[in-house]
Structure 1
Amino acid sequence: MSTESDLQENYRRAYGNRIGFGKKPALILIDFVEAYFDPACELYADVEDALASALRIRDKAREIGIPVIYTNVVYQAGGVDGGRFFQKALPLRNFVSGNPMGAWPKGMEVGEHELVVSKQYPSAFFGTSLAATLATLGVDTLVHTGLTTSGCVRATCVDCCSHGFIPIIAREAVGDRHSAPHEANLFDMDAKYADVVSEADVIEYFNKTGKSQ
């Protein structure tokens, strides 16, 4: 049976490449909504630290003028626009339009010129205008923060890569309900689709981007 060190070495040999940062980033904050912060909700995930990290990164993006994009999940009454995803994942009923669980948590106030992408499926790219918006802005790199690592963050990361943008995952600014899916998906995204980096690395990158503008 392979050990953890064997696994790490196997992946280093096969997938040890880094994409690196591009020239023009945008920041996305994926599904930071009240459902994940209210202990009474079945989606509660104890992810206050991820939110705090994402807000620090957002503050730096705002300071420098890097585009800031938010996503949420919003359904019509009865989830008629939710398809099989709404049928399968019962907690999505918390995101029917008007449900308070779909509201932004404290600190997640959207700025006047910041974009909100409302979606019905895990990826922020699927069925939305996000790819066209990023292309119009000349963005080549999308820094990912948000919830959950194994769900909408991963789905957005894979589609980001598929659309030709560089996916960067800010490790401290993404979260999940359990460390096992969280760490497994960070490991896999870093191996195959994205660069997983620290909050400090993102801040340093933004600072360098600001100086080059």
Structure 2
Amino acid sequence: MTSFSDADYAKRSYGELPVGYGQRPGIVVVDYQKAFTEDRYPLGGAPLIMRGLENTARLLEVARRNNVPIASCYTAYKDEGDMPYWKISAVREQFRHEHPGSELDPAIYDPGYDVKVCKTGPSIFFQTPVVPFFIRQRVDTVIVTGCTTSGCIRASSIDSFQYGFRTIVPEDCVGDHEEQPHLDNLRDISRRYVDQTSSDEVIAYLDRVGRQNS
């Protein structure tokens, strides 16, 4: 099998064109539920995920101030018969509707503002009302936050791209259990589908759009 370096990809024009920002942003918050953010659970409390949670909370405060639509999701099932064939025992055992690990972390969720959805696959867009919600809100740019980078963030980013949204992923608003898959997947999707940026850059964009719309 041929091995491609970053230079090989660049020579073949991967990542050559930016996605750029549009006029109407929307934000998805993927799986910042307690199963991932509380260290009493097997999947909870990973440093990169907690860093992402903190930066996302900061970004969302600015988004709400500027009337930016937010869709936040958690993953949960009725029972194991309702699940796809997850290879992760903690998901099979704890991602249940009645389990406290399915609750959204209060650091990122405002029940009086955010749209809350339950998803059953990796992508926040899979069989959920998020796309119709964004269409009604005239969203053209989706900011992707949440966890995990190598799983649900990658899937949500690709779906966002496929639905025709400009897709932006602030690196410090997403997280994974290991750094290398986090970096590898961000590098890969940013070559093809998304612009990788930072929370500070997105916050500046949200404030700029807010001023324009006021």
Give the TM-score, by structure 1 length: 0.91
1:181 corresponds to: 181
Q: Deviations over 1:106-148 (max 9, x none)?
A: 4233231320121000001111121111111110111011000
RMSD, aligned α-carbons: 1.9
1:35 corresponds to: 35
Gaps of at least 5 residues in structure 1 are none
Q: Give 3-state SS (helix, strand or coil) of 2:172's partner.
A: strand
Q: Distance in 1 between matches of 2:57 and 2:40?
A: 24
Range that drifts further, 107-116 or 202-211? 107-116
2:115 corresponds to: 115
2:53 corresponds to: 51
Q: Give 3-state SS (helix, strand or coil) of 1:172's partner.
A: helix
1:11 corresponds to: 9
Gaps of at least 5 residues in structure 2 are none
Range that drifts further, 164-173 or 38-47? 38-47
Change in CA separation of 1:207 and 1:108 when aligned onto 2, cut-off 3 Å: closer
2:26 aligned partner, one-letter code: A
Change in CA separation of 1:105 and 1:113 when aligned onto 2, cut-off 3 Å: closer
Q: Give 3-state SS (helix, strand or coil) of 1:21's partner.
A: coil
| Structural mapping, 1:101-180, within 5 Å | 101-180=101-180
2:68 corresponds to: 66
The alignment of Structure 1 onto Structure 2 pairs a total of residues equal to 208
Contact 2:69 2:134 survives alignment (8 Å):
no
Give the TM-score, by structure 2 length: 0.91
1:80 corresponds to: 81
Q: Distance in 1 between matches of 2:25 and 2:80?
A: 34
Q: Deviations over 1:60-80 (max 9, x none)?
A: 00111101110101201x233
Q: Percent identity?
A: 28
Q: Give 3-state SS (helix, strand or coil) of 1:126's partner.
A: coil
Q: Give 3-state SS (helix, strand or coil) of 1:20's partner.
A: coil
Range that drifts further, 124-133 or 149-158? 124-133
